[in-house]
Amino acid sequence: MAKDIKRIAVFTSGGDAPGMNAAVRAIVRNAFNNDLHIYGIMRGYEGMIDGNIKRLETTDVSNVIHRGGTVLKTARSQRFTTPEGRRQAYENLVDNDIDALIAIGGNGTLTGALQFITEYPDIAIIGLPGTIDNDLYGTDFTIGFDTAVNTAVQAVDKIRDTADSHNRLFFVEVMGRHSGFIALHTAIAGGAGGVLIPEEESSIEDVIKLLKRGAKRAKLFSIVIVAEGNQMGTVYDIAKHVEERVDFYDDIKVTVIGHLQRGGSPSAFDRVLASILGFASVEALLEGKSGVMAGIRNNNVHFTPFEEAIHKSKPLNKDLLRMAHILAQ
């Protein structure tokens, strides 16, 4: 053990993701198992700067594993991007005798953690991938991704009933400004007639050809899944351009699922994933690890340096994308 860890603080930052509470629960319980003092920082980096730090007991994480959102609350902090903000956060941690941090969040959270540990290496930090986008390098799945996909698929299933009943074309937008993981998995699981993602170039002509192939097979309705960060523009623009060029649907509609994907009770998969990674993060700190993100690869816990988790691109499975296009025909 590189450092005698006695007091750990955990916080959630950035966008909330289903399963964050399960991770916090596992961290608190394993901290107590190792006779550590465990603290919760409210509202992420903002709370760290404000000194909003409180001692946690095992009872504080009772009956939270099934809850969405985060019991520690979250926030996006502009102040933490400044040297003054990070200095104030550090002083608050020192005042509370905090030896180590566990940061749960996405790319922005880990970026902040990397900057902080570069300036104050005496505070050890382990990151957990808490984001529905599944876009962090070094882990097969991020906490919240599975739940977000299930929420989107449930919505698509309901939309399908209306689309079929009215001979309609639906463009359904899901989250994913920079990655198409949610869109791709939703398209496959929802039996969609097409998918548009940031990682793949597409044109209105491509969409028209796809829809025409379906029309030739007497397919009376269709659903196209659109990632919000696709390369063709807003889902409304896409729907408008298509409407101007096709006449074999009674109507064309747009549905934006939006922040519904972030909320709700986490799936069993996300609860297990978050518990495994939360548990492992405490063990990692006791083993002297720092500056790494805990992830899951081939069903095993794997630790990736912050620099790689943040800056390396996580590619989509090309075989999965090819399959999605074939199944959409």
d(CA 180, CA 223): 16
Phi-psi domain of 104 (left: phi exceeds 0; alpha: psi -120 through 50; beta: other) = beta
| Of 141, 128, 222, 211, the residue nearest 182 (C-alpha) | 141
Q: What are the tokens at 314?
A: 């996580």
Check: CB of residue 52 under 8 Å from CB of residue 300: no
d(CA 275, CA 309): 20
**φ and ψ at residue 15, rounded to 5 degrees:** -70, 140
261-270 burial: b if 16+ Cβ within 10 Å, else e: bbebebbebb
d(CA 299, CA 252): 42
Question: Mind giving me the DSSP string for 222-240?
Answer: EEEEEETT-TT--HHHHHH
**φ and ψ at residue 96, rounded to 5 degrees:** -95, 10
Show Cβ contacts of residue 107 under 8 Å, excluding neighbours closer than 6 positions: 131, 135, 136, 310
Q: In the annotation, is 146 catalytic? A: no
| Of 214, 176, 168, the residue nearest 194 (C-alpha) | 214
Q: For the chain, first and last CA: distance in Å?
A: 56
d(CA 328, CA 223): 10
3-class DSSP state of 57: coil
DSSP 212: H
Pick the catalytic residue from 133, 135, 146, 270.
133
Residues designated catalytic: 133
